Chain A
Amino acid sequence: MKQIIFSLLFILFSTINLQAQVTISGRVTDAETGLPLPGVNILVAGTTIGNVTDADGNYAIIVERGSQLLFSFVGYEEQRITVRSQTVIDVIMFPDIMELDEVVVTSLGLTRDRMALNYSVTEVSGENFTEARENNLANALAGRVAGVNISNIATGPAGASRVLIRGNTSLSGGNQPLYVMDGIPIDNATYGQAGMWGGSDWGDGLTSINPDDIESISVLKGASASALYGSRASNGVILITTKKGKKQKGIGIEFNSNFVLESVIDYTDPQTQYGHGHMGEKPNSSLTGFNYTDRAWGAALDGSTSYTFDGVERPYVNTFKDGGNNVKKFYETGYAWTNSFAVTGGSEKQQARFSLSHLDNQGVVPNSGFKRWNAGLNYNGQYGNFELDTKIYYSDEEAKNRPRVSDMPGNSNYTVHLLPSSVDVRTLKGDPDKLGAVYADQSNPPEANKNIGDELSPLGSHGWITNPYWASYQYVNDDIRKRIIGHVRGRYNFTEYLFAQVKVGLDWQSKRFNNIDPPYGTSYQPGGFMNKSENQLQETNYEWMVGFQDMWDQFGINAFVGGNAMKRISGGIGVNAENFNIPYFHSLSNGANQSQGNWYGATGINSLFGSLEVSWGGYLYLTATARNDWFSTLDPDRNSILYPSIGMSWVLSDLITMPDWWNLAKIRGSWAQVGGGTWPYNLDLTYGIRGIRHLGRVLGTMSGSVPNRDLVPLTSTETEVGFDVSFFNNRLGMDLAVYIQETTDEIIGAALPGSSGYWSTIINIGKIENKGYEILLTANPIRGIFSWNIEFNYAENHNKVIKISDEVVKDIGPESRTRTAFVGDWEGEPSSVICGYKQKLVNGKKVIDPVTGYQVRNDSLVILGYGVHPYTGGMTNTFSYKGWNLSFLVDFKFGGDIHSGTNDRMTRSGLHKQTLVGREEGLTSTGVDVNGQEISVEIPKENLQHYWDQYAQISDNFIYDASFVKLRQVTFGYTFPDRWLRYTPFSYLNLSFVARNLLLLYSKTENIDPESTYNNGRMQGLEYLGVPPTRTYGFNLRVRF
């Protein structure tokens, strides 16, 4: 082995051209027209040496090998090309369409030559987010990056997203990557998510960013890629690079307008033969109508009449026949309209970009929506050896009535999905001036204590179910967030090879919540409830760095050392008022009872880091990095940890002569460790004081989690190898990465039985392993006037919890609202197993209760499925012909499961088609008793509801394969040719049809979207009556002046 390496090295040294300075010449042409481009700027990166193409698009420049040339021209993607052995570099400029750059943004905002990278990094250009867009930026990444698993959450507009890179590295449910914008870590904390007891998704940090401001997004997947982020990198890092000013003639003005309609995709397929009622009978009086409107256990719909919730007699017919089911009748067609405007300009020394945008989104849930204003200013200046780079990005977000999901109170989705077909949801509108309320001409008699203006209950005797119109129009669930993300970076180049820089970054946000549960609605808060809170969050990063870069002949060094101090403080105050003195006067001061609370949390991490890269000839790179972090959240005696990485990249094709058709072969390998800290205040047992007293007495509380002074930071160790190849004049390319990652000492709050006195314990747990591979295939089968590009990515990640702890071998985590399924982590299994109960069997036969005939469940918890898909991927096909462009993205996930609470509830309320059996004569339940004796029991039709109630206790009955294939996105656009624009003020005009979430091509679930989930935390694989998924379609117009 050694001999081979030596002889390779020998060949390498003897064939290298030792001449460092070369003259490079070439021609720059337009990719679409093939015509030469005059006036293109060419700059040697990091210097002020440059040139401009002549009238025929030709240029010449003297550079050192290994340096980079930047080609830039208004309206075209900037191109960076590293000078290696070439002497002629012809450049084709692409008018703002995606292109794999030669240079990519990596850790700490540093740009690196793609060839030097010893790990996998995927860069997605901003274009992909702007045409067909999502309110939450992360959702737009779905299916685009191998190994990145994005989940949409069933929570309505501007909800959070879940981004999982290379599988669960953590059992605590976070697993969200670190987001870094222009080199500054930004906050992506979720403000509040629905759990089993309901709630709303209050969004996360990524909804603040307007896609039009994004130049590109780089996904640093492995530990080596993110090693310089140390303890914040265990879940990967997503780098967002925003657009900057460009050196150009005059100023560039760009305007983009995007208008899409949004409509619900309805997957429900309820039975429509039997109407509301009880024990097989339709309600024949107003009280029974009132009591039994919420369940489809009535008689066959026969066209007669029956009573409903409000005591009114209505036709007992299938109302879904006319105008669709209640899902179609209740949800509205929403829209999203984004207008973005940007001005860029710049000279040789100074560049700036200013942008403004506005998004107005009306959601599909009535009376819900989201608005966002963004303003950004970016300035770069070069003053001799001093460079200044500043950015300020402001966002103002207003969410209106974020829908409640999960548990019943205030959740319109619950009621809409579970009303029988004999009840038209629109009959619940009530007072047209106060939707969902009882009005004067209307009877809602069985509830004597209710008055005009109170909730028109869909089921008065059960005040937990909310009238969906009341939930949408009378509940208030608003929030306003104002946010400033900014940075200042100063860099001083002492010489060509030595620089120092200081960077200060800030992410500051204030969020104001306003929540009102109106009185005389839910039983949960019959007197009404109101909460207002003000929250602030601030993360500051101070970073310094001294760097060195030089080449001696073929030998190059690129090194830096630096430090960072991060401090994150969040806190807020809130005031609650309940039981309004004057009903419907929603003011805090009107609450008969008022209470208040405050919360606070601070963490800090201090770090020192350094990196050393040595290269030879531009084709062999060795890189080592190290970062040491000190944590505020751990005991000072054990709060320091070092995160090293080492890797190599070898561009084989530059070294040995490859066949003509083989353009690139690069091998890379790396080993790295990254980590994660923990949340604060876990070291000591603490006590608290309740904000309120009882008759003057002070009330004390205790922490519900077992503290742990011995916590150490977690470490995630990853080994990755990969190769990059391209063939046939780069028509076919492949990037393969294989990795194995092991996380040890993860800090989790393992759930404990309450009888231990605590709900959880903070422990360092054993070991989780992730291994897998990612493949990215790019093909360009047809080039020329008509071109066809294919990008296919596929990833497999196999996750395994190897050890939890000596005491805990099964951690049973969050629970479904059905109370029959959990998400847990069990030793020896992939993380996020769905566990629940199976049918009890004796000798393999179903056990039934000998008296009732109901199925009997086995009361021990077993694994029923896996909440995270191990196989994910996507494919984008792009066709272009002259100005026409058609692109579509298909994405898929396989191998995961879901426990469907929606199907559970539909079954229990008699809406599921499986409940049609035995409606007329009852059914015969056959099975065995506990002794294995065959028995059969006749179940009269009156008992069917109880039969299915017990059936639903067996959670295995509602486990589905959650695999799917979706047509995620289609864009079809036309760029108007220059000759048409000659007499207009425009220099560029593109109009596209855009659509997202068009089709579910493959799925095995019934009544639900296989992607549906409660939240972006640990509840993956559980689903329960959320906001249905939506489809958007519309137009995007982009013009430049």
Chain B
Amino acid sequence: MSDFNKNSIAMKFLFKYYLLLLSVFAPYFACNTSELAALNDHPDDLYEINWNYLFTDGILLAAENRQSQNVQLFYCSAMIQHLADLEVTLGLGNGDKYFKKEEWTGTYYSNCYVGITKKFDEAIRQTGPAGNDPQMVNLHHATRVMRVFVYHRCADLYGDIPYSEANKAYDEGIFFPVFDRQKDIYLDMLKELSEAAEGFDKNQTDKIFNSQDIIYDGDVDKWKKFAYSLMLRLAMRISLVDASTAQVYVTEAINGGVFTGNADNARVPRASGPNTFINSNGISMWLNPDFGATKAKLSDTFIDFLRDNNDPRLMIITSGIGQFGSSDKIVDPALQKGMPNGFDASSIREYEGVMEDVDVETTYSKVNELLLDLDDPNLFQTYAEVEFLLAEAAVRGWHSADPADHYNKGVRAAMQMYDIFDPSLTVSDAEVDAYLAAHPYDTDKGLEMIGTQYWVATFLNFYETYANWRRTGFPVLEPVNYPGNHTNGTIPRRMIFEKAAVSRNEANYQAAINRMGGDELTTKVWWDGGN
């Protein structure tokens, strides 16, 4: 204490100054919790959003991008012999030769929830009766349709998947959703489509919905048609295993009103930027050598069918044989040649009977560059498919109409739907008439003709081609039997889950695969005759 008393005036001054300093700092030491809590408000986070934004983002991701093509391009396109590739375990080689690569077969499942259906579920929840914006009626029902669209693809690929308990970790605390039976999922999806289709209200207009809806620009009538067209697709999908339900919904769809022209086609427009991973067409990116690594070519099964039948689509689907983008190609339709499925760089030489390497670029027909622009659209469902489904419904006696009439309309629509890719890709009515005259609908082979045309018409929507082919068995495809393949030389019937995605929900996953009889490429899903 004595030291302190002896302090000079200067030291006293310093001491005062020190106290002053302390008082300057005092605010920092106060445990001001409101100021502290304010730090936790992120300037870039929203606590509420216009739910239309989630809807748009979900649609865009549902249309997929470069990174999510593993199932559709690497497996579906090759398994159904639209495309072929000389690779073995890379790229399309897996679907071409029936190897399992679960990190690729599982992609659709892994992507479908967090990025896509969760956004739909959130928009549905927030715009539903208990949500924040119950007056957004049309957004609500359009989102329900989109949600079904994504789930039906997923269930078609894998069989039983989480559905009724999915995306509920936040709202209901369900961390480990059960896998529902594909049958139950289908029944619910049909009910959803029915309610959504009825729920659309033309008098409710929401400017934001009009501008955010990238499929129909807010055209409620078209959404309604899409809902019923999708209902028709789903109903026909279960035709072999639950005919009575199928018939009920086929009838409801037809009565409700399905697509009536290519203008109704559900398609997602794409763009070349600003970010190719988000904005651009993923299939285009893979098949365009400037962006993708695959050298896949059109399959000989596909080319042979188009060429042998003088199909006017041949030179729309292919631009000929030659380097990508070059104008110097073999464009004579008669000389078009597809690549056989199931070959590699060595065995293809024997197949072609040559000693030298086979240059795939100058040997096989390639997908038309005009279908592969970065801003080419993705098709979800087309009018042509609807006509073929109606034709089949007529054959099955669930729809009182002439199957030939629907078949002819379907072929015409399918041939004339490529102008949205490029205005030059047109088929005249006369060409269609000539084709139909040369290949008239034959009642005895009705289902095969319908199925085969469906197969051609769904080119570039390989998910749908694969699903319908599994159900109808048409066209009859000859499987390949490459050494060491995993299916004993049979075309896979479903996709395998990625273990990484399901291992975090292992008990429910095990229950599902026990029910389905395994998690293999050869396991059949319910509507394909499985469990």
Contact = CB atoms under 8 A, between A and B. Distances in A.
Interface of A: 278-279, 281, 285-288, 291-292, 383-386, 446, 448-449, 461-464, 490, 492, 494-496, 500, 502, 523, 526-527, 542, 544, 563-565, 567, 576, 578-579, 592-595, 598-604, 606, 608, 630-633, 636, 639-640, 680-681, 683-690, 692-704, 706-707, 751-759, 761, 807-808, 810, 812, 815, 819, 822, 837, 851-852, 859-861, 940, 942-943, 945-947, 949
Given A278-B346, A753-B505, A756-B166, A683 B40 contact: yes
A757 B214 contact: no
Contacts of A600: 42-44
B161 interface: yes
Interface string B356-380: 1111010000000000000000000
Closest 8 CB pairs of A and B: A700-B53, A757-B167, A946-B484, A287-B357, A593-B273, A753-B505, A463-B293, A943-B484
Contacts of A446: 357, 359
Contact of B46 (A496, A689, A706): A689
B169 interface: yes
Given A449-B289, A757-B121, A578 B276 contact: yes
Nearest to A860: B506
A495 B3 contact: yes
Interface in B12-51: 14-15, 18, 21-22, 25, 28-34, 36-40, 42-51
A812 B29 contact: no
Nearest to B54: A700
A636 B33 contact: yes
Contact of A598 (B14, B44, B117, B174): B44
Given A544-B25, A578-B276, A606-B30, 5 more contacts: A279-B483, A384-B7, A462-B293, A757-B166, A810-B506
B169 A752 contact: yes
B292 interface: yes
Nearest to A384: B11
Chain A contact surface mostly: mixed
A860 B510 contact: yes
Contacts of B38: 632
Contact of B36 (A449, A606, A701, A943): A606
B484 A852 contact: yes
24 contacts: A285-B357, A385-B7, A492-B18, A502-B21, A502-B22, A502-B25, A563-B29, A578-B275, A592-B272, A593-B274, A598-B44, A600-B44, A604-B36, A606-B32, A633-B40, A640-B33, A694-B56, A699-B53, A752-B504, A753-B502, A755-B501, A757-B167, A759-B114, A945-B89
Contacts of B349: 285
B430 interface: no
Contact of B169 (A494, A565, A757): A757
A686 B211 CA distance: 23
Q: Which of A449, A761, A807, A859 has the most CB of B within 10 A?
A: A859
B166 A288 contact: no
Interface in B299-347: 323-324, 344-346
Contact of B114 (A490, A631, A757): A757
A687 B291 CA distance: 32
B488 A687 contact: no
B398 interface: no
Contacts of B174: 756
Nearest to B61: A699
B241 interface: no
Contact of B212 (A603, A606, A631, A698): A698
A446 B357 CA distance: 10
A752 to B, nearest CB: 5
A279 B39 contact: no
Contacts of B14: 383-384, 386, 492
Contacts of A807: 173, 175-176
Nearest to A567: B39
Given A291-B345, A702-B122, A707-B170, A753 B504 contact: yes
A784 to B, nearest CB: 47
B506 A756 contact: no
A679 B278 CA distance: 29
The majority secondary structure among interface residues of chain B is: loop
A831 to B, nearest CB: 17
Interface in B465-494: 483-486, 488
A167 B225 CA distance: 61
A578 B8 CA distance: 70
Contacts of B295: 461
A690 B57 contact: yes
Contact of A756 (B90, B119, B176): B176
A829 to B, nearest CB: 16
A702 B279 contact: no
B50 A700 contact: yes
B170 A757 contact: yes
Contacts, number: 319
Contacts of B175: 752-753, 756, 761, 807-808
Nearest to B208: A698
A702 B119 contact: yes
B395 to A, nearest CB: 38
Given A462-B90, A807-B175, A949-B89, A523 B45 contact: no
Nearest to A821: B500
B65 to A, nearest CB: 11
A490 B18 contact: yes
Contact of A698 (B8, B36, B37, B56): B56
B168 interface: yes
Given A462-B90, A600-B44, A681-B40, A861 B506 contact: yes
Contacts of A544: 22, 25, 29
A636 B33 CA distance: 7
Nearest to A631: B36
Contacts of A693: 274
A815 B42 CA distance: 30
A385 B14 CA distance: 10
Contacts of B351: none
Contact of A757 (B168, B345, B499): B168
Contacts of A462: 87, 90-91, 293
B99 A946 contact: yes
Contacts of A291: 86-87, 344-345
Interface string B210-229: 01101000000000000000
B113 interface: yes
B269 interface: yes
B293 to A, nearest CB: 4
A594 B42 CA distance: 25
A251 to B, nearest CB: 29
Contacts of B29: 542, 544, 563-565, 606, 608
B517 to A, nearest CB: 12
B292 A756 contact: no
Contacts of B324: 448-449
Contact of A701 (B34, B57, B169): B57
A686 B47 contact: yes
A697 B504 contact: no
A688 B45 contact: yes
A751 B122 CA distance: 21
Contact of B118 (A602, A688, A702): A702
A523 B510 contact: no
A633 B51 CA distance: 27
Contacts of A681: 40, 42, 45
Given A291-B345, A526-B292, A859-B519, A753 B37 contact: no
Contacts of A281: 346
B59 to A, nearest CB: 9
A837 to B, nearest CB: 8
B503 A686 contact: no
Given A681-B42, A822-B503, A947 B36 contact: no
A775 to B, nearest CB: 40
A686 B47 CA distance: 5
A943 B54 contact: no
Contacts of A808: 175
